[in-house]
Amino acid sequence: MKLRLGMIGGGPGAFIGAVHRIAARIDDDYQLVCGAFSSDAAKSKAMGATLGLEETRTYGSYEELIAHELQLPEQQRAQVISIVTPNHLHFQPAKLALKNGFHVILDKPATFSLEEALALKAVMQASGKQLCLTHTYTGYPMVKEARRLVATGAIGKVRKIYVQYAQGWLSQLEEGTGNKQAAWRTDPSKSGIAGAMGDIGTHAFNLAEYVSGCSLSHLCADINTVVAGRQLDDDGAVLLKFEGGASGVLVATQIATGAENNIQVSIYGEKGGLEWQQNNANSLTVRWPDKPAETWRTGGSYTSSVATHNTRTPAGHPEGYLEAFANLYHNFALTIRAALANQTASAEALDYPGIEEGIRGMAFIEHVITSGKSDIKWTPFIID
Amino acid sequence: MKLRLGMIGGGPGAFIGAVHRIAARIDDDYQLVCGAFSSDAAKSKAMGATLGLEETRTYGSYEELIAHELQLPEQQRAQVISIVTPNHLHFQPAKLALKNGFHVILDKPATFSLEEALALKAVMQASGKQLCLTHTYTGYPMVKEARRLVATGAIGKVRKIYVQYAQGWLSQLEEGTGNKQAAWRTDPSKSGIAGAMGDIGTHAFNLAEYVSGCSLSHLCADINTVVAGRQLDDDGAVLLKFEGGASGVLVATQIATGAENNIQVSIYGEKGGLEWQQNNANSLTVRWPDKPAETWRTGGSYTSSVATHNTRTPAGHPEGYLEAFANLYHNFALTIRAALANQTASAEALDYPGIEEGIRGMAFIEHVITSGKSDIKWTPFIID
Amino acid sequence: MKLRLGMIGGGPGAFIGAVHRIAARIDDDYQLVCGAFSSDAAKSKAMGATLGLEETRTYGSYEELIAHELQLPEQQRAQVISIVTPNHLHFQPAKLALKNGFHVILDKPATFSLEEALALKAVMQASGKQLCLTHTYTGYPMVKEARRLVATGAIGKVRKIYVQYAQGWLSQLEEGTGNKQAAWRTDPSKSGIAGAMGDIGTHAFNLAEYVSGCSLSHLCADINTVVAGRQLDDDGAVLLKFEGGASGVLVATQIATGAENNIQVSIYGEKGGLEWQQNNANSLTVRWPDKPAETWRTGGSYTSSVATHNTRTPAGHPEGYLEAFANLYHNFALTIRAALANQTASAEALDYPGIEEGIRGMAFIEHVITSGKSDIKWTPFIID
Amino acid sequence: MKLRLGMIGGGPGAFIGAVHRIAARIDDDYQLVCGAFSSDAAKSKAMGATLGLEETRTYGSYEELIAHELQLPEQQRAQVISIVTPNHLHFQPAKLALKNGFHVILDKPATFSLEEALALKAVMQASGKQLCLTHTYTGYPMVKEARRLVATGAIGKVRKIYVQYAQGWLSQLEEGTGNKQAAWRTDPSKSGIAGAMGDIGTHAFNLAEYVSGCSLSHLCADINTVVAGRQLDDDGAVLLKFEGGASGVLVATQIATGAENNIQVSIYGEKGGLEWQQNNANSLTVRWPDKPAETWRTGGSYTSSVATHNTRTPAGHPEGYLEAFANLYHNFALTIRAALANQTASAEALDYPGIEEGIRGMAFIEHVITSGKSDIKWTPFIID
């Protein structure tokens, strides 16, 4: 049976809400049954109507959604709540949902602050419910294959981790032009203490740790607000040191004029190297010192179960961003269904980002902003 | 409201049926309400259960599906029937569906023979219902942008049209190994008179005519069965002449060992050229004699409405094969909804392949096989 | 010691003459000692002065060059003559040079007609001297590696051979604008019976046979003159059949507006496939059905001696067209030196195109033009 | 007339000496007339013989070369001396050559220390002779075109400068295996205080400043010796701040296993962006926020005089590393010839790296190593 899904946020004009809904549909694991799409009840109703929801299950606030859904028979009630609001509106609805027995899918970054993320973990643990954090890029089959190759020692002990996420869409003061996406992302009351570092730096950080299997230990950040009049950082670069000895560089910028969205990661170990980039997402380059580089491809007959589990079509039919996003939704659904059936979820099902990644992401934001303001070179990465 | 969708074919192990279902879900235009997934009633029931259908609406044959759905109240009855069976099972169900008031989505090639395709057109015209033929590759935004650039004269009068579709998956006698996909595609009783030319040659032919806006006038084909023991062609190359003076080459092969699915088209006109390939589907290269080549990108702010209408995410979030497929479903849904509302569908909505493309595809198959056997160089392309 | 080199043709404004001179210098095997650069003695003298030649060894005609050089002491006399004139001026100077004891480097196509090429072979055999035909593209290390992989059976029995050479520089009537390069190449009195097919079709044909190791047996050509007012073909496509069962397609066009010079070849065998293109000349893609594609790279530590012999720098330092050209000159020098030393030249040294390739190229021109005019599909490729 | 060239260093087994000699030959500006190829006189003689030099002009030391050449008539004497020895043997021969009236071509980095580089500048200025420093990558036509586009304001005020030079060839302890190249480059008595940062970091730094037109003002370096037993750094990453407000990142590593030599630079300004990488050296990507990205190509008809001056062949004939190197030699020759003729050299001719770039490179080495050891984040980049 499909899991019954509710959504908080994702009203008209929102980018990521629509993406979540497509992701939820692709593998047919969910049925959207309710939503609080906007704090403006009329807008929420209108969106619900567009989406074919019953009017009684389109709400004007997340509190109303939770309260009303709880009054429904368990067989009708939403089981999973997707929260796709700006960052300052993550913690309270997530907490309320978990406490009341809903599983939660949360857009990144997890919360408004590290403190909230730590609190959310405690709530979640007490609730016994699951949480999925949508770090999309770890949903790509070739990213997962890269992680597997590192984990199985194929490239040897990791030495270097380079990750880069360059965008150009904020290269002018978009927030002054009525661009809603730009407005909240550059507003510290909604985004938190970081702009680019929260919005895309956390993605890059998550990707680096996910693929390399290494944990950040120290960082040294150069954080800039390049566009005059902007309230938060729109650019940064960070030197990284990892537990176990690897080092690297993270670049996240939103003012690289003309750059699209080409997040990329390269990992070099003692025996070989791996390179992946989103604009060629179905290929993974594997480099060796003494034989030709290999191009692993989504759907390739030689790919591992971790890749094929996350692939829908044979090699050569490109899968993209929405499919990567759908992989998070699908694996989360498999995990919840296993729980509903009192079964242990498979390793493939459990391979989605959760609260731990959320906490590390929020810690990254706090440390990177601290480091950016510091005259001392290395800031240790410590989560109390 | 969602359109109610029924499916004929697409049982367990089918490749394209699953693709159709994903494509139908992505934009939330359809709800799958019934199916005859297999001629084995038990298998069909099992698939219906997997898909969450009511048992009473999972049928053991297409005749049963049509007959029973007609007995349902109009508000519950399927409105659109997707036919995703092997080629020999296209015509009869399509005809029955159309005659009984259902719109039809038909996998390519349209039918088993040109004669059937022509007959289907007559049926369709008499029915007043719509038909969409899933030539997937014309669903890509950059393919549509390419077509628009040609149509608006950007590259001048078309001179050359090169199209290539090389696969390697039939480079051994797969049909002897229990591979169901290979088995029916190489079986003349199910595929028709052509193998590779029907399966992928028609895609290449459709792509060439779609982008160039030119109509084939003559062809000269080299058609081969390379793998010993195979019953149908698995390889071919065709010299092409078009009305208006353009010429070109079509390559379709399934025995190019190691090749994936990288269908590609290049069009050169008097003023410029265009190149697109599926493995870099979100880019369109536009070449000029006297200025730098341009890379147009899915989601680019400069793309036309024909591209943006078929795009879900901003530039740099790759959209792939499933989204291209979904564009066919979405545009067909828009067209049907406009009809239901007694409105004229927009040009963007009407931009999907239909029975005319199906007839041309079947004519291509017949002519290309004829030409392959002929000692005369040029075979005129004539559809009576 | 350096070989003493003379040049016939290559005066001011010539493209290929300058390329030959650079190619001759790169590996320091030759010293240019004399030339008849133009039939205009003053222009020839001026060019000789520019090149630092002694005035007495700058001649106004090839006859004068041969005659005068013969009067010089053997230690000073040119040993090798490069002939870089338009096609109608290949045979007579080559014949005279060979007959008088000079080795010859000849730009392609070999001669003005097949008849001349056959005659030249006889002259050469009688002379005991060597001839190198500058089919540049076979000089690339990765092309040679591709040939080796085919020859050693790595990809199994060859099935498909696709070769394409698309240029756009003649997409307008350049010969009407004072463009010297365009003028002679489109003039049947200088080029011979073919335009594009002679100029670049022969390159494509040579590349296809060289890499595949297969010999053409039948062809079916579509030959066009696209630009109004042009005297020779500027476009063509050819279906190919080879001895041993392989088939393929050759495309050569000079009116693909915006296309550069990106000659490319793909070969598919029973076990794997190979793809190479000039605009990524240092990479060779090797495809397999059951493992990741490999990218072999010029200078890679794993490349064979046939590649490394033709490479000057470690992997990652791109080598280009001039180095490929230089490989022909270098290998020819090694061959001549071995002969001077009464030694057997190595297989690597002997790996340059010669009169046999020249004869096949001229036969290709004659057959392809014949086929282009024929209503019969297949023209057998026969050299009497 | 050709310039008479002498060489110091470049004996058997040397990599860069052979490259210099090819570069000197490509455009026929130089004639190698003498050399001190090795401090072992016999080896030097042997190399001289191989190169066809007169035995009397093959020397056993640079002092002997200078002393003996000075005794030759001016018409025979070397005019330009190329110094291609390890770093510790740059200053003394360069100084002696300049003081005695020879122009100097010097491999990078300029000297063993910043102090030497500053001293060399004084020597050079006093001598009235010219010096060319072979930062190869600035010789590529598309790198020059990039610089021009930035300088003319095409991309607006520069904001971000990313430069990366990743190699893998020192990913093991090559210096322990008899690899001569590895041995001296990792030996502080020969290389100086830096390994990777001197060998390739200086290239990356030079490329960044050359293309961007910006001058480094502060840096923050993470410098590592990754391979156990190595004496110098083999890896590093540096945060950069430039005069005028741009910032960026420099990566230089020699332990990225499997990486070739793919130096790359990306520059983003207020209006657009530029991306270039050596493994696609003939293309320059120019990005815009509101129109398709452009691919500028070596030899393109639309390229500027600064590019065409440094290009030998039409678009689509790839030029590579050796041609880029040759551009330095050629421009230096033009500059010297202009001086010999008491003329002003053209801007194109003067576009080669010289002592200023050498000083900045040595200062980069000293600052980057200092910063690497410092706990303070930002080290100002100051050259006294």
Map out the domains of chain C as residue ranges: 3-136+332-353, 141-307+360-373
A142 in contact with C, Cβ within 8 Å: no
Asked if the C-beta of C178 comes within 8 angstroms of chain A's C-beta atoms, the answer is no
Q: Is B366 on the interface with A (CB under 8 A)?
A: no
At A268 the pLDDT is 98
Closest by Cβ to C25, choosing from D26, D314, D319: D26
The answer to whether B239 contacts chain A (CB < 8 Å) is no
Q: Average of pLDDT values for A63-67?
A: 98
Chain A to chain D, count of Cβ pairs less than 8 Å apart? 136
pLDDT at A182 > cutoff 90: yes
Average pLDDT along chain B: 97
A162 touches chain D (CB under 8 A): yes
pLDDT at B14 exceeding the cut of 90: no
- Do the domains spanning B3-129 and B141-315+358-373 agree at the CATH topology level? no
Nearest CA to B215 out of B204, B206, B203 is that of: B206
Count CB neighbours of D338 within 10 A.
Answer: 15
CATH 3.30.300.20 fits C141-307+360-373, yes or no: no
Any A CB within 8 A of C297 CB: yes
Least confident of A181-185, B349-353, D163-167: A181-185
Residue D273 in contact with partner chain A when CB distance is under 8 A: yes
* Mean pLDDT over each residue of chain D, to the nearest integer: 97
CB D196 within 8 A of CB A196: no
Nearest-by-CA chain B residue for C274: B258
**Tell me, what's the pLDDT at D352?**
98
Task: Please tell me the distance from the alpha carbon of residue A23 to that of residue A28, in angstroms, as a whole number.
Answer: 9
Cβ separation B168–C293 shorter than 8 A? no
Q: Encode pLDDT of A335-346 as tens digits.
A: 999 999 999 999
User: Across A225-359, where does the E strand assignment appear?
Assistant: 235-242, 247-253, 264-269, 273-277, 283-287, 293-297
Measured between CB atoms, does D322 come within 8 Å of chain C? yes
Place of tokens 């001229």: C362
CB contact D172 to C (< 8 Å): no
Give the C-alpha separation, A264 to D162, whole Å.
Answer: 14
Q: What topology does CATH give the domain B3-129? A: Rossmann fold (3.40.50)
pLDDT band at B167 (very low <50, low <70, confident <90, very high): very high
- H or E element at residue D293: strand D293-297
CATH 3.90.1010.10 is right for the domain spanning D3-136+332-353: no
Alpha-carbon span B3 to B1, nearest angstrom: 6
3-state secondary structure chain C: CCEEEEEECCCCCCCHHHHHHHHHHHCCCEEEEEEECCCCHHHHHHHHHHCCCCHHHECCCHHHHHHHHHHCCCCCCCCEEEECCCHHHCHHHHHHHHHCCCEEEECCCCCCCHHHHHHHHHHHHHHCCCEEECCHHHHCHHHHHHHHHHHCCCCCCEEEEEEEEECCCCCCCHHHCCCHHHHHHCCHHHHCCCCHHHHHHHHHHHHHHHHHCCCEEEEEEEEECCCCCCCCCCEEEEEEEECCCCEEEEEEECCCCCCCCCCEEEEEECCCEEEEEHHHCCEEEEECCCCCEEEEECCCCCCCHHHHCCCCCCCCCCCCHHHHHHHHHHHHHHHHHHHHCCCCCCCCCCCCCCHHHHHHHHHHHHHHHHHHHCCECCEECCCC
D294 interaction partners in chain B (CB closer than 8 Å): 291-295
pLDDT confidence of residue D271: 98
Is the pLDDT reported for residue A13 higher than 90? no
Report whether pLDDT(B2) > 90. yes
- The 10s digit of each residue's pLDDT in D96-119 is 999 999 999 999 999 999 999 999
Sign for the CA dihedral angle at A282, A285, A286, A291 comes to positive
Inform me whether the C-beta atom of residue D29 falls under 8 Å from chain C C-beta atoms: no
CATH of domain A139-313+360-373: 3.30.360.10
| CB–CB contact D287 A168 (8 Å) | yes
Interface probe with D: pick from B286, B290, B294, B298, most Cβ of D within 10 Å: B294
Q: ipTM higher than 0.95?
A: yes
B286 touching D, CB under 8 A? yes
State whether B318 and A318 contact (CB < 8 Å): yes
Q: CATH assignment of D141-304+360-373?
A: 3.30.360.10
**Does the beta carbon of B259 lie under 8 angstroms from any beta carbon of chain C?**
yes
Q: Decide if D144 contacts D351 (C-beta within 8 A).
A: yes
CB-based contact D159 A257, cutoff 8 Å: yes
- For chain D, residues with pLDDT lower than 50 are none
Residue D302 forms contact with B (CB below 8 Å): yes
- Say which residues have a Cβ less than 8 Å from residue A372's Cβ, sequence separation at least 6: A221, A222, A223, A233, A236
State the smallest CA–CA distance between residue B298 and chain C in angstroms.
22
Provide the CA B2 distance to its chain's centre, in angstroms. 23
Chain C: closest CA distance from residue A285 (Å): 9
Q: From CA A312, how far away is CA D240, in angstroms rounded?
A: 44
Facing C247 at nearest CB: one of B224, B289, B375: B224
- Chain A interface, best mutation among C283, C286, C291, by max A CB count within 10 A: C291
Contact: A281, B314; criterion CB under 8 Å: no
pLDDT above 90 coverage of chain B, percent? 98
Q: Tell me if chain D has a CB within 8 Å of the CB of A289.
A: yes
Residues C98-126: pLDDT tens digits? Answer: 999 999 999 999 999 999 999 999 999 99
- Would the CB atoms of D313 and C322 count as touching at under 8 Å? yes
| CA-to-CA dists, residue D313 to A301, C313, D51, D323, angstroms | 43, 21, 28, 11
Q: Write down the pLDDT at residue A1.
A: 78
Q: Which residue of C has its CA nearest to D137?
A: C317
Q: Which chains touch D (3 or more CB pairs under 8 A)?
A: A, B, C
For D16-57, what is each residue's pLDDT tens digit? 999 999 999 999 999 999 999 999 999 999 999 999 999 999
Distance CA A384, CA D38 (A): 61
Q: Is B244 on the interface with C (CB under 8 A)?
A: no
Interface test with D, best of C4, C15, C28, C302 (most D CBs within 10 A): C28
The answer to whether residue D161 neighbours chain A at the CB level (below 8 Å) is: no
pLDDT of residue C15: 86
pLDDT at C384: 81
C297 to chain D, minimum CA–CA distance in Å?
10
Residue D106 tokens, joined: 């010097």
Residues in chain D: 384
Give the separation between CA C270 and CA C251, rounded to whole angstroms.
23
Distance, in angstroms, between A53 CA and closest chain B CA? Answer: 10
pLDDT tens digits for range B194-247: 999 999 999 999 999 999 999 999 999 999 999 999 999 999 999 999 999 999
Please return the burial class of B380, using the count of CB atoms within 10 Å of its CB with bins 0-12, 13-18 and 19+. exposed
- Residue A276 near residue B318, CB atoms below 8 Å: no
The residue with tokens 């430069």 is: D163
Nearest by Cα to A277 from A140, A132, A373: A140
Residues C31, C10: Cα–Cα separation, whole Å: 16
Question: Which element (helix H / strand E) includes B307?
Answer: helix B305-308
Pairing of strands B379-380, C30-36: unpaired
Nearest to B273 among C258, C272, C376 (CB): C258
Query: Which DSSP helix (H) or strand (E) runs through D122?
Result: helix D114-127
CA-nearest of B71, B256, A10, D76 to C269 is B256
- Which residues of chain C carry a pLDDT beneath 70? none
A125-158, pLDDT tens digit by residue?
999 999 999 999 999 999 999 999 999 999 999 9
- How would residue A294 be classed by pLDDT, with cut points 50, 70 and 90? very high
Nearest to D300 by CA among D319, D315, D310: D315
* Chain A residues within an 8 Å CB radius of B284: none
**pLDDT of C12:** 85
Q: What is the CATH number of domain B141-315+358-373?
A: 3.30.360.10
* pLDDT (average), residues A233-252: 98
**Rounded Cα distance, A353 and A162, in Å:** 20
Residues of A in contact with C316 (CB under 8 A): none
Chain A closest-CA separation from residue D216 CA (Å) = 15
User: pLDDT at residue A12 above 90?
Assistant: no
